[in-house]
């Protein structure tokens, strides 16, 4: 088995290089600065597409984290470009938040404060600080953390509210995207706040931040993890009244490993022990979303009792880490078999061997889902992170 793992590590190393090469070659926006807002499914660059803060923050994280493995100076330079572009054009010096999107010419487009985006900026900035030791980058990350605590934290019921106007007033449409329920507290945003806070704590050992991480992990455990089914609850109102929705296999398996990693960073022994159990339970129940070809389905709708019969790129990336994490915790080699099969599925159906990067995904009949190769939601973060995590874990 170790030979197969070494082979997997070598392939993931090569794939990481390939992903970074695609973004380096195709997404640098020379006329306008920063990065191209959209490359469609036909590899057509849309030069005037709006640019999303999440895309920019994820490019910042991906190249900062990858540089620590590749030691390629060009990767460090792209991380620097992403940092400078984020701080100059997305960061809002007037109200201390982050524009959701800007136009290609750098003028603000959607100025709402979506807490999810602020979290990703913290995640990227704290990772960039590791490779740059740029105190301004760290200061911006800390400032965004304090801003989230000031405006989004719910001191009465705990947890964090989704979104606000530019000047931090309530906003009617709280959704990340049109497919989401319009609710004030969501699993997705809480997952990425904890990811961001934990990454910041690795470089800034602030006791208040540590206690915020511990409280947030407790809140997630109390409200978002359904210990009866092993799946995650996704949407709540501000008083933690659930608005039932789909089962999201991708978010389940992502949370399984990521929340344990955050618990370990928090150094709270009780939480570490609890989240080890959650990681195993969630991985076990996520197996119900695996297809015989090794791919992991996107979602299941319990109300309609039907599968959302799509296999998205990011869901496969998170499956690689989540199931490897379960293997590390249990020693159960069935999880390794799942990973090898999933990687074969990715190579066969998700990797674009001609142009590079990963396709958005495939339908049940393996026809391509014709959505962005790069764009608002199509970033190098899930797949580069899967490569980085497994390279690191197999090596260890």
**What values do phi and psi take at 301, rounded to 5?**
-100, 105
Query: Quick check: helix, strand or coil at residue 90?
Result: helix
Query: Quick check: helix, strand or coil at residue 321?
Result: helix
SS3 letters for 10-55? HHHHHHHHHHHHHHHHHCECCCCCCECCCECCCCCECCCCCEEHHH
Centre a 10 Å sphere on the Cβ of residue 81 and count the other Cβ atoms it contains: 19
What's the mean pLDDT in 264-278? Answer: 98
253 touches 286 (CB < 8 A): yes
Beta bridge partners of 106: none
Confidence check: pLDDT of 146 > 70: yes
Q: Which are the contacts of 221, defined by CB distance < 8 A and separation ≥ 6?
A: 271, 274, 275, 278
Alpha carbons 359 and 52: distance in angstroms, whole number: 19
What's the mean pLDDT in 50-74? Answer: 98
Confidence check: pLDDT of 27 > 90: yes
H or E element that contains 315:
helix 313-330
Across the chain, mean pLDDT equals 97
- Can you tell me which residue has the tokens 């389940």? 252
H or E element that contains 75:
helix 73-85
pLDDT of residue 181: 81
Name the residue ranges covered by the structural domains of the chain: 51-353
Alpha carbons 144 and 155: distance in angstroms, whole number: 18
pLDDT of residue 177: 84
Q: Give me 176's structure tokens.
A: 């990340």
pLDDT tens readout for residues 82-98: 999 999 999 999 999 99
Alpha carbons 271 and 329: distance in angstroms, whole number: 15
Confidence check: pLDDT of 309 > 70: yes
pLDDT of residue 183: 86
Spell out the CATH class of 51-353: mainly alpha
Instruction: Please give the DSSP secondary-structure letter assigned to residue 163.
Output: E
What's the mean pLDDT in 60-71? Answer: 98
- Can you tell me which residue has the tokens 């109200």? 95
**What values do phi and psi take at 243, rounded to 5?**
-110, 95
Q: Which long-range contacts (CB under 8 A, 24 or more apart) does 131-136 make?
A: 131/64, 131/67, 131/68, 131/76, 131/79, 132/64, 132/76, 132/79, 132/80, 132/83, 134/83, 136/87
pLDDT tens readout for residues 333-349: 999 999 999 999 999 99
pLDDT of residue 1: 61
pLDDT tens readout for residues 170-202: 998 888 787 788 889 999 999 999 999 999 999
Q: Give me 129's structure tokens.
A: 């600080």
DSSP structure string for 178-232 = TTS---SEEHHHHHHHHHHHHHHHHH---HHHHHHHHHHHHHHHHHTB-TTTSPB
Confidence check: pLDDT of 151 > 70: yes
pLDDT of residue 178: 79
Sign of the dihedral through C-alpha 395, 197, 248, 351: negative
């Amino acid at each position: 088995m170790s030979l197969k793992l070494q082979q997997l590590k070598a392939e993931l190393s090569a794939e990481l290089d390939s992903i970074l090469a695609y973004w380096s070659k195709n997404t640098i926006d020379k006329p306008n600065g920063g990065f191209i807002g959209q490359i469609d499914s036909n590899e057509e660059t849309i030069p005037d597409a709006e640019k999303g803060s999440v895309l920019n923050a994820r490019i910042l994280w991906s190249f900062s984290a990858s540089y620590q493995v590749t030691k390629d100076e060009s990767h460090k330079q792209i991380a620097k470009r992403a940092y400078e572009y984020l701080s100059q054009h997305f960061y809002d010096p007037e109200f201390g938040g982050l524009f959701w999107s800007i136009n290609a010419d750098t003028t603000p487009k959607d100025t709402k404060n979506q807490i999810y985006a602020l979290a990703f900026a913290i995640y990227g900035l704290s990772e960039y600080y590791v490779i740059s030791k740029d105190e301004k980058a760290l200061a911006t990350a800390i400032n965004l953390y304090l801003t989230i605590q000031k405006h989004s934290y719910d001191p009465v019921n705990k947890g964090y509210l989704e979104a606000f106007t530019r000047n931090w007033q309530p906003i009617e449409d709280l959704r990340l995207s049109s497919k989401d329920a319009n609710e004030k507290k969501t699993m997705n945003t809480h997952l990425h706040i904890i990811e961001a806070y934990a990454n910041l704590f690795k470089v800034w050992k602030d006791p208040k931040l540590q206690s915020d991480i511990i409280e947030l992990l407790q809140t997630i455990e109390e409200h978002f993890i359904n210990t009866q089914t092993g799946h995650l609850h996704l949407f709540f109102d501000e008083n933690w009244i659930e608005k039932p929705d789909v089962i999201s296999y991708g978010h389940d398996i992502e949370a399984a490993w990521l929340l344990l990693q955050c618990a370990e960073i928090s150094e709270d022994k009780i939480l570490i022990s609890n989240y080890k159990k959650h990681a195993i339970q969630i991985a076990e129940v996520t197996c119900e979303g695996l297809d015989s070809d090794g791919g992991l389905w996107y979602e299941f709708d319990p109300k309609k009792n039907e599968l959302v019969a799509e296999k998205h790129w990011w869901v496969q990336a998170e499956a690689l880490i989540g199931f490897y994490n379960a293997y590390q915790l249990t020693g159960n080699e069935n999880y390794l078999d799942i990973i090898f099969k999933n990687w074969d599925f990715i190579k066969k159906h998700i990797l674009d061997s001609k142009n590079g990067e990963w396709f958005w995904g495939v339908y049940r009949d393996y026809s391509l889902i014709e959505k962005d190769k790069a764009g608002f939601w199509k970033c190098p973060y899930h797949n580069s992170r899967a490569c980085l995590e497994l390279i690191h874990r197999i090596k260890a």
